[in-house]
Structure 1
């Protein structure tokens, strides 16, 4: 690459929104932290990816790529959580993977190899990756009458910035990408981009770009929106304020929801876990892992390997569970560049970056911004970012008690594909 010329700046923004039934008014009173995402105003290229209207359960997704995405999800979460011990963390691995995959279509040589290492894509062809991502989007769309799931991708390119035709074609074909060329010096350019963001997050995020810098040439944005009603809702009348014991040793009162139902449950020497299904089909689930009092969340996250994750999910069985679980909401934002660099793709952020398949002009990635929000309440979960369970028939069972009154890990996943839509740690509801 010719390093004599100042490279154009590409910014990647990923958004995960998990919103609950009581969330609407709360969000209308607040704007998303503009300072966090406005920093992403240094790269623009927009792809609007609208998924098909209905999920197609007959599509078979390449298992090699699903496995790679699970490995990437878990190692990325481990790296982020290690840097944020004692804090609430929430990421959407699917959102991040899709945004990076679109960018990967432009990478060449050492840059492509570095991204492949970070994303666990060694030995996987670009064609197979793109096809699997297209299939995943199709399968995830509208998975249940009581679950809404939408994915949108947008690329906004500076008017005088040249994109390779094949880069545009691949992202349009496999990611539903609508490429918009925009005059970045126009005073209305920021409003155009923020208008798309607001439209594709159903008004939940109204501003993502504050200003456009002179070197900005491309903004790549991915958003995932999820809203699911519990298959077995909590009774709001049973919710009571109870103490939540934080890692610092103190406690604070939180609204603790209560539910006693037959649920998928797992208990090991390290933790208790329960899987709460969404909707009629129970395909989407929130898995809650509560480390025993003799352990802690930091020790648990270190065990989040692919082998352990897959083994744990296989070991759940149906039990009557008396569950107490806090009602909570959390907003999280992070710059992923340091973590992705530690995972091996640092060259993509330097002047040695080679995105020759993206543009004939030298370019590098300056930022990878990630923003998420989740709220969980008695009715379910709303977010913007299938194995059957054996039923045990017994009599006079004593329900197992699970009181989630201390830091815990949770994930929202699709049981059919194994895709992890969201994963987080809650230390302070």
Structure 2
């Protein structure tokens, strides 16, 4: 029973992580971590391996006979995915949204290896990793990489990581080594003063996403000392492609009072299907074995708000268990979306605000560092063949002294207000009131 449950969780993770958000031939994600500041300990001396002389602290996960990701880490990734989506939805509910939680999670997991103290606790809360050891997190991510890279004989999926170091900067060896051992990160030394260095990094990203993401680093600023980059590449056609001859224009209802004509793909077949009072849902598989799928959920009319309020990891797992094989007809719009968002606010709301402040503690990678920005960009196109998608996540870390200072504010007290008189030494509030009409 336990093994059956684990297999279900594993299969759902594969489908969920790289199926739900995607649909034409290629699915790609690139996550970049930019680390800036003065770091201490082991010096980066070699352009191909910054720590070639350092001993491996543990056996490389890929050499183990069995590969088993911890179900707690899989569950944590799922919870983080839906929490992150929910936060993004709150701020952008009236526009198209398309994110890659896997891209963000991998970038932050690599960064998490450098966090300490309350900053590590805050990141663990945001990433749903409380109670899971760093070794379990890293080992499970390594195991997931191996599992995900072998989803189907006719499906390609690769996950690549790299560290790009300023040749004049020192780093803590354990932080670098963990990223090499568990994330198989390629470590390369660069002269960050050379304007061509950003091109070298972007070339690696371009190659590891098969040309679908050609740039993640615009320019290298003087204070930057390290970039951690993640790239994910997926290529797979639908198990049963849509017939292009069946594609035609039909009305698409943007709102109850607004519609447009749009190209829609149509197909009849046997699908895993679920319907209840909230929605209809179908699983559209990729490849020969269908281990990865696109899940499409269609809320019932006038029920979108309730659906998204119920869209969380617990309900997701319940829904996944309720799909059953059924013959039916699917009409799905072709679409192409470009999306970008800065995730600072969303991640702060998830509990890791300290990592963006002067109180940040990344002492496991170096001294006086903080995250200044987490940017996320995606692209997706769905058509008759499958899905083409790309995502890039950039986590920028700066010296705590460089954390942005608050902008000058404007406060025009021209409406009813609250006020109080407080003794700051004792904290006693001596007077308070609501002023509706000053006289």
- Give the TM-score band, short-chain normalised: 0.7 to 0.9
Report the equivalent of 1:149: 157
Higher RCO (Cα < 8 Å, 6 or more apart)? 1
TM-score, length basis structure 1? 0.76
Report the equivalent of 1:306: 313
From the superposition, tell whether residues 181 and 103 of structure 1 become closer, same or farther in structure 2 (CA, over 3 Å).
Answer: same
Report the equivalent of 1:171: 179
* 8 A Cα contact 2:115 2:362, kept in partner: yes
Report the equivalent of 2:348: 341
Report the equivalent of 1:364: 370
- Runs of at least 4 residues off by over 6 Å: 44-48
Provide Cα deviations, 1:237-291, integer angstroms capped at 9, x if missing partner.
0000111111373112211000100111111101111111111111101110001
Whole-angstrom distance in 2 between the partners of 1:260 and 1:368: 42
* 8 A Cα contact 2:79 2:313, kept in partner: yes
2:255 is paired with a residue of what secondary structure? coil
Aligned pairs for 1:35-74 (under 5 A) are 59-74=67-82
Whole-angstrom distance in 1 between the partners of 2:241 and 2:48: 37
* 8 A Cα contact 1:19 1:384, kept in partner: no
From the superposition, tell whether residues 282 and 209 of structure 1 become closer, same or farther in structure 2 (CA, over 3 Å).
Answer: same
From the superposition, tell whether residues 267 and 124 of structure 1 become closer, same or farther in structure 2 (CA, over 3 Å).
Answer: same
Q: Answer yes or no: is 1:318 the counterpart of 2:322.
A: no
1:251 is paired with a residue of what secondary structure? strand
Report the equivalent of 1:205: 213
Report the equivalent of 1:97: 105
How far has the Cα of 1:176 moved from its partner?
A: 0.6
Q: Whose radius of gyration is greater, 1 or 2? A: 2
**1:131 pairs with 128, 136, 139, which one?**
139
Whole-angstrom distance in 2 between the partners of 1:286 and 1:87: 21
- Give ranges in structure 2 of 5+ residues lacking alignment: 1-17, 38-43, 50-59, 392-439
TM-score, length basis structure 2? 0.74
**2:296 pairs with 269, 283, 288, which one?**
288
Provide Cα deviations, 1:210-234, integer angstroms capped at 9, x if missing partner.
2122222222222222222111111
Tell me the C-alpha RMSD between the 2 structures: 3.0
* 8 A Cα contact 1:255 1:326, kept in partner: yes
How far has the Cα of 1:157 moved from its partner?
A: 2.2
**1:20 pairs with 17, 24, 42, which one?**
24
**2:195 pairs with 187, 192, 198, which one?**
187
In the alignment of these two chains, the number of paired residues is: 352
